[in-house]
Amino acid sequence: MYYKQVPTHATNEGECMEMEFHNTIRDADEGEWTSLVGTDHIERSHQWFRTIEDSGMTRMHYVFVRENGTLAAAACCHLFKGNRFKIPLLDVSSPLGLSSAFFCKTPHATEMLMKGLEEIRRREKAKGISIFELRKEGFFVLKEQLKSYIGFSMLGNTYLDLNFGNFKEYLAFLPYKARRSVKNTLKRTEKLGVSTVSTNEFARWKDVTYRLQKALCDEHNDYTLLLNKQFYDALEKNMKDTAELLLFFKDDIPLVFALFLHSPHTTHYKFVGMDPEYREYQAYFLSYYEIIKESIKRNKKRIFFGITTYEFKEKIGCQVEELFGLAKMKNPLLNAGLKAYITIFKAFR
């Protein structure tokens, strides 16, 4: 474990701020972490970062700023190389997620976090620092403080607000053509005998889910988000009460799986896998309708559906939340061409 504590001058009489470096979220108490980051985005949670660490899929680094011993700011990061463009960046974002991982409320704490991130960048030999998945308000505040960083827009995160008492009310909310399409899919999958299993026994199904997701990755030649089997063991260990796996079958044949995360008020549609040979069963679309139905029953306020397939998600009532990023390269020549690079980088991230 790498740990360093750096006292800094007090901003007001009696205040003392310190910066810490860690390589595990377990060095922060879960309660104090939740007080800092909130509960609406489970991809920012202590549980999620523990899951990422235990999966071995990426090595995490954390900068904590404490004020009089209390956790007041934090940045979570990992070394990232694009799927096709191999310039390494220190990526400040929730791994395998669409949530910001830069938590700060004051300019002084921001300055300390950035010094910490720069030290990690040097140690990890990254070529630059990127701060991804910022919401609009936070982006403009941070951009004003980090004037040497280039700002840019990212692919938006789709979401559906659940202002419905039941699934019937949701269907009534949709335009006629979309409503008819949903009903036709539900009737067709029922007629074809597609069955559903909901479970939090992730380790039991990891061979199936890995195979289905890899089949989808093979089809698109993109393995960026392919979850290893150890991830499911880590998920069961850390998030058994907040994660859910839906599997869809034709008889004993697995067709599709979808993995969801639940916070007190929101649901996050995270990962999906599918056997392309059984695409005509339309279980992929059924996964959306099932999670909408279930989230309404659980009184969730919003579902986040992620990026891609915007046209389909618009038809089922989704809106798009704007996301932004900031980045700076170490090399002045690379920094000069950063906007063009980021345009390519984010397309393959």
> Can you give the residue ranges of every domain in the chain?
4-156+322-347, 163-300
* Phi–psi pair at 138, nearest 5 degrees: -65, -35
- Separation in Å, CA 270 to CA 196, 221, 261: 18, 19, 7
pTM of the model: 0.91
Residue 85: predicted pLDDT: 57
CATH number of 4-156+322-347: 3.40.630.30
CB 304 within 8 A of CB 262: no
As a whole number of angstroms, the distance between CA 136 and CA 43 comes to: 18
As a whole number of angstroms, the distance between CA 316 and CA 160 comes to: 8
Name the one residue in this structure whose structure tokens are 């549609």.
269
Residue 13: predicted pLDDT: 44
Residue 331: predicted pLDDT: 80
The reply to whether 163-300 shares the fold of 4-156+322-347 is yes
Residue 1: predicted pLDDT: 47
Q: Tens-digit pLDDT profile for the chain (349 aa)?
A: 445 555 554 445 446 889 999 999 999 999 999 999 999 899 999 999 999 999 999 999 999 999 999 999 999 999 987 655 578 899 999 999 999 999 999 999 999 999 999 999 999 999 999 999 999 999 999 999 999 999 989 999 999 999 999 999 999 999 999 999 999 999 999 999 999 999 999 999 999 999 999 999 999 888 889 999 999 999 999 999 999 999 999 999 999 999 999 999 999 999 999 999 999 999 999 999 999 999 999 999 999 999 989 999 999 999 999 999 999 998 877 777 776 666 555 554 4
HSE, CB side, 13 Å, CA atoms: give it for residue 310. Answer: 7
CB 60 within 8 A of CB 95: yes
Residue 243: predicted pLDDT: 97
Residue 8: predicted pLDDT: 52
Residue 80: predicted pLDDT: 84
CB 55 within 8 A of CB 228: yes
Query: Smallest Cα–Cα separation from 8: which of 168, 116, 117, 129?
Result: 116
Top-tier CATH class for 163-300: alpha beta
